[in-house]
Structure formats: structure tokens, C-alpha cells
Chain A
């Protein structure tokens, strides 16, 4: 009789640590936003707090060094950190510095890391989804045993690009994970106000695509399920649609203040989500229960994560802005 596979608990402690690192990174940005100009920050700023288990659990299930890859949207800091990108280079990009991963030319919405298979964050809702089709196509074209993950939000599902892409992905059987981060709101518009059919997963049934719903706040469920799905995709290339149920703590972007947020959600709703659905608290409680995480370790991880975010900010602060000569570089290859 097949034994139920046991959890690799060391791995989950590492995932927990990664989630805390992302949280501290994002919260530091949120805090320093009050002093944005001094750091070089500006424009929009979309923070990932509350959704960390998705990036960590899914990217943690891919083999980036062996050719797996992924593409994201503008809420993209967490993807890079989950993939192991240098936090200093990510922070420097967020602050428009020459040492940023995109040389300060992309900013917060356009983080990328070619060496780790991160094909970038994109600012047009749904615009990255068709590109994932091409990334998956390239894997299939070369007979690679790899997968590509494409992150997008519930807003993307109301773009035509999404539907053209899913149809073609299923038609060509490309190994792409369409990872819906359903946080309930497309900017300030709720699912109820924007989707005629609010069972979002059922919207892809028309493409005859394999699909699954996962609690995006539970790192164990995210990772166990995704690791299994990725293995199956590598054996038999096909696309999979995954609906991760999640919640975002901050406004849509920095411009979505408590005042604008009050037009679409209550403070109480946010507070309740933080209390009841927090992916870090959830993982922490379970790992303590499993006997692999102690209060001492939690304090240590917390302080190291904070120090890492601070160090990233210092690296960025110490970095120069791009030289004016950079203005006209990199337009063409």
C-alpha cells in the first residue's frame, strides 16, 4: 500500500522564512512610502502582503535552475524574492537606482530576473497572459520537461487577452500554469461588481482545461498541490488553471489610500482577514504544532528578515541614480 508522503518540514520552515522576508520587505516599503522621494520611490507601489504563500509555494515547487520559468504582473516584488533574486537589486529597482534589476528603468511594476527564469512584471492588466503562452510554447517547441507559471489577478479574467490565451494554451497543450490570485478586488471593483459569473474557476470550463481551486493562504496546500501538478505537467505537457483564493492587505497601489479603500471595503474586513487568513500566522501555528518551529526561531527569522529588508534599502540608498546617458540605451537589442 502506498504510504501518504510525509511533509519535508525543513522545506516548510524555509518557506515560512521566505514569506516573512517578503512581508518585512513590503512592510518596510509601506512604511518608507512616507519618505518616498528621499529613497527615489514614486509612481505606483503595489504591495504583496497577505498573498505571500502563493508565490512562495508555487515558485518553490518549480526548478528554476533547470529551466522552469514564470511571468508576473505589477504586484511583483514577492515573485522575485521567492525566486531568490537579490533583495538589494529589487529594492534598488523599486527606488529607480542604477543597480536595480532593470537598471532603474522599469520601477516597482517591472521587476525581472532573467537568470532565475522570471520574465518580468507587467503593468497592463491581462497583458502578460498571452506572453505566457509564448513562453510555454518555447518549452514545448524544444521538448523541454519544464513548466511556466503565469500570475495574474481576478481583474485579468475580464480581458479578452485572457480568453484568447486560454483557448490557445489548451489547443496546443502548452505547459503553463495559469495562476489566478483571486484577492476579491480588481483595484476597487469587487468580483460581485465585475464578474457576471462569480465562480471564476468555472469560467475556464469552456476551454476544457484542467483546473483546481487552492486556498492561497495555506502554504502547505499551495505547495503540495502545485508540486504534484507540476510533476504531472512535466510528464505530460498540458496547461492548468489554478484559482488561489487570497486577500491583499494594502490598497491596490500606493494611490489607493484608506479613504479610497473605504469606497469598496471596510477596515473591519481587512482586520478580519489579517486575523483569520494570514498565511504567515497560519504556517507559524502549524509548524509550531508539528514541532519544527520554536518561539526562538520565530524571533530570529523575524529579525533577520527585517535586517535583510533594511540592508536592501541601504543598498538602494547608497546606489546612484542611472547616468543620464542611460536614457537612450536599451531601446533596441
Chain B
């Protein structure tokens, strides 16, 4: 077991898959000579050369077109979005093309590509660099959407994404990128541990019970899973046993695991980093209502971000997304406390 930061897990997954499969190449802004905007591809250009580590102009449409076409022709591109917000510039390539090609051509082609990049709140990057737009991808058939919370899942899910035959959106929590292993392990022992085995992968569509509990189920994904773990620690001090379910992938979505947990705890809190209206937490809550209504002892609670563009001021940013305390309050509400 290695103790890694989330960003190191990204580097490790990319490098191992590039070594294992020469069809894999990375394309994006500043991925090569600049050593990666956040350093995850540092040294890659030297190791793999310019055909496999492709510095691109600031042209997201071009980057994704490069990915889609080469994937259809049998390569396995990894397209980096410097920020997932920038994928909006090329939304047409993702939604109208990558997601549709398999179906609208009757299965004649596949598009084995990864679109990955940092996403979400947490570094005072304000309105255009802090969004968590997974809803916009998870709504669309033909895509897969991956949102890892731990270094091990970051590595294992990214490797699975790179081996998948479909377009996979991997949204990486910028908030977690450089979190030190010690800090992670203080939240939950072993949280920073990543298996050394180069064949270690994590399957899609299999949620993970990160912490067992009996009183309430906290459901999260990506950075919000870490918030849930922190909330569970606080609740434990107050004698409340919270089970934390990390969804890992939104598409495919594993509802069996959270529902099995709810059948045990009879209470559920669903946490989503950004806007709740029409969001992933809403979908998950609806599925719980459909499939486990009679197991519930209290209404499902959603904890979501403020319905505003991300503000810059640190104090405003800090209150714009769910804190562990918000989750604690919601959990207690399900317990009538």
C-alpha cells in the first residue's frame, strides 16, 4: 500500500495505462512542456514524447474532436480539460457527438475516450472556475460519469475509465487534489492508501460503504463524501452512528448499495456540492422514495450548495457549499434531534 495524495493517484493511473497500452495518448492545454497546469502530467512529455502527450491550443472543441475521431479510429485518448468548466465550450462535442455516435450509427463505432479534469469548489476561483457540473453529463445517455472521493478510487476508477470502450467523464475534485495523506487518514484511517498492484482497478457502478453505521445513511460523492466522513465523526461524538456511502460513479449509478444501507438505518441524507435544483441529490432522493419509501422513518434530506454562481470572497465561498456541520444538522433532523 502506498499513501498518496489524490493528484498523485491521477498521475499514477495515467502513467501506468500509458505504459501498458500504446494506443493511449493525452491531449490538452499545458499538459506537456508546461508539465501540467496542476502538475499531474509532469515529466510525461519527456517520457512519452509529443505524439502521446499533446500540447494543444486553447481550443476545447478541437481537443475533444481530436479525442472523438481518434477514439473512433481505435486509439484511446485522454482529453484533459484544464477545468471541467471549460468543457462547456465544447459541450456540443460531448453531448451531440461523443454520447450519440454509438447509438445513432447502430453500434458500428465505439468511442473509447476519457474526458477528465479538475472540478468543483474550493480555491477561490469564483464563478467560471469552480462549478461542479456533473448533472449536465449524468443526464445524458451514452456517457459515463465518474466522481472519485479517495486516492484509491481516483486511481482505480481512472484506470477503469481508460480501459472502458465508451466516453467517460472523470470529474476530479480540485478541493482534494493536494490534501495530504496525514490529513485524509485523520478523517478515516487508511483513507489515503492506494494498492500498489498495477492491475488494481475499481469497477464502475459499485458504490462503497466507507464507514459502517446504524442510525442514518449519509450519501455523497467526490469531495462531498469527505464532508460526509467528517460529519460522521462529529455525529459519533454525539452518540449517533452514521453510515457513509460513497457513490463513486453517477453513471452508471448503483442504488442497491445505498438502499441496502437505508433498509438498515431507515434514514438518509443526500449531499451534493452544488445546486440542488434538478440535481443529482434530487435524482437519488427520488429513487429512494420509489424503492425504499416504506423503510424510511423520516423524509430524505438533501444538503446542497447555494443556488448562486460561485462568489470569490473567501467567506462567501465557504458558506456556498455543504459543510460537515450542514450535514450533521440534516442527519439530526432525520432523527428528530
A interface residues, Cβ below 8 angstroms from B: 69, 71, 100-106, 110, 112-114, 119-120, 122-124, 127, 129-141, 160-161, 164-165, 167-168, 171-172, 329-333
**B174, CB-defined interface residue at 8 Å:** no
The answer to whether A103 and B61 have CB atoms under 8 Å apart is no
A105-B69 contact in complex given A331-B141, A332-B166, C-beta closer than 8 Å: no
A110 touches B69 (CB 8 A): no
* Chain A residue contacts of B97, Cβ below 8 A: 122, 124, 127, 131
Q: Across the interface, which residues of A come within 8 angstroms of B105, CB to CB?
A: 101-102, 105-106, 110, 112, 114, 120
The 5 residue pairs across chains A and B that have the minimum distance between CB atoms: A130-B65, A134-B69, A103-B106, A138-B73, A102-B106
Q: Are A161 and B92 in touch, CB under 8 angstroms? A: yes
Among A101, A113, A138, A172, contact of B69 (Cβ-Cβ < 8 Å): A138
| B65 contacts A129, C-beta separation under 8 Å | yes
Contact of A105 among B59, B66, B104 (CB under 8 A): B104
Q: In the complex, A110→B96 CA distance in Å?
A: 13
Q: Known: A112-B109, A127-B92, A329-B107. Contact between A165 and B102, CB under 8 A? A: no
| Docked complex Cα distance between A332 and B141 (Å) | 8
B273-294 to A contact mask, C-beta < 8 Å, 1/0 = 0000000000000000000000
B61, B70, B103: the one within 8 Å of A165 (CB): B61
Contact A134 B67 (CB under 8 A): yes
Task: Give 1 or 0 for each of B309-330: 1 = CB within 8 Å of chain A CB.
Answer: 0000000000000000000000
Which residues does chain B contribute within 8 Å of A141, judged by CB atoms?
A: 25, 51, 70, 75
Task: Give the interface of B toward A (CB within 8 A).
Answer: 25, 51, 54, 56-57, 59, 61-62, 64-75, 77, 92-93, 96-97, 101-112, 141-142, 144, 165-166
User: B74's closest neighbor in chain A, by CB?
Assistant: A138
Residue of B nearest to A131 (CB): B69
Provide the residues of chain A in CB contact with B70, threshold 8 Å.
Answer: 134-135, 137-138, 141
Which of A69, A138, A164 touches B57 (beta carbons < 8 Å)?
A164
Residues on the A chain within 8 Å of B61, using CB: 130, 160-161, 164-165
Determine if A164 and B112 form an interchain contact, defined as CB atoms under 8 angstroms apart: no
Minimal beta-carbon separation of A289 from chain B (angstroms): 42
* CA of A305 to CA of B65, assembled, Å: 37
Residue of B nearest to A326 (CB): B106
Find out whether the CB atom of A105 lies under 8 angstroms from the CB atom of B75: no
Query: A130 near B73 (CB under 8 angstroms)?
Result: no
* CB proximity of A130 to chain B, nearest CB, Å: 2
B139, chain A: closest CB distance, angstroms? 14
B99: nearest residue on chain A (CB-CB)?
A331
Pair B112/A333 contact, Cβ less than 8 Å: yes
Indicate if the CB atoms of B56 and A168 lie closer than 8 Å: yes
Interface of B is mostly: mixed
Which residues of chain B have C-beta atoms less than 8 A from A132's C-beta?
65, 69
Cα separation A120 to B97 with both chains bound (whole Å): 11
- In the bound complex, residues from chain B placing their C-beta under 8 Å from that of A71 are 69
| A105–B73 CB distance below 8 A | no
Which residues of the other chain, B, contact A136 by a CB distance below 8 angstroms?
69
Q: How far is the CB of A155 from chain B (nearest CB, A)?
A: 15
A114 to B72, CA, bound (A): 10
Minimal beta-carbon separation of B28 from chain A (angstroms): 12
Q: Which residues of A contact B75 (CB under 8 A)?
A: 137-138, 141
Which one of B65, B73, B104, B111 contacts A102 once the chains associate, using CB atoms below 8 Å?
Answer: B104
Q: List 20 A-B contacts (CB under 8 A).
A: A101-B108, A103-B107, A105-B104, A112-B106, A120-B101, A123-B96, A124-B97, A130-B64, A130-B69, A131-B65, A133-B65, A134-B69, A138-B70, A141-B70, A164-B59, A167-B59, A330-B107, A331-B142, A333-B111, A333-B166
Chain A residues with CB below 8 A from B69, complex form: 71, 119, 130-138
Tell me if A134 and B66 are in contact (CB < 8 A).
yes
Q: Is the CB of A330 within 8 A of B73?
A: no
Q: Provide the residues of chain A in CB contact with B110, threshold 8 Å.
A: 333
A135 vs B111: C-alpha distance in the bound complex, in angstroms? 12
Select B102's contact among A101, A160, A172, A330, beta carbons within 8 Å. A330
Known pairs A120-B104, A168-B56 / 9 extra A-B pairs, C-beta < 8 Å: A105-B103, A110-B105, A122-B97, A130-B62, A130-B65, A131-B93, A141-B51, A161-B93, A331-B141
Interchain CB contact under 8 A, A131 and B68? yes
Residue of A whose beta carbon sits closest to that of B143? A332
The smallest beta-carbon distance between A175 and chain B, in angstroms, is: 12
A332 to B56, CA, bound (A): 29
Contacting pair A130 B142 (CB below 8 A): no
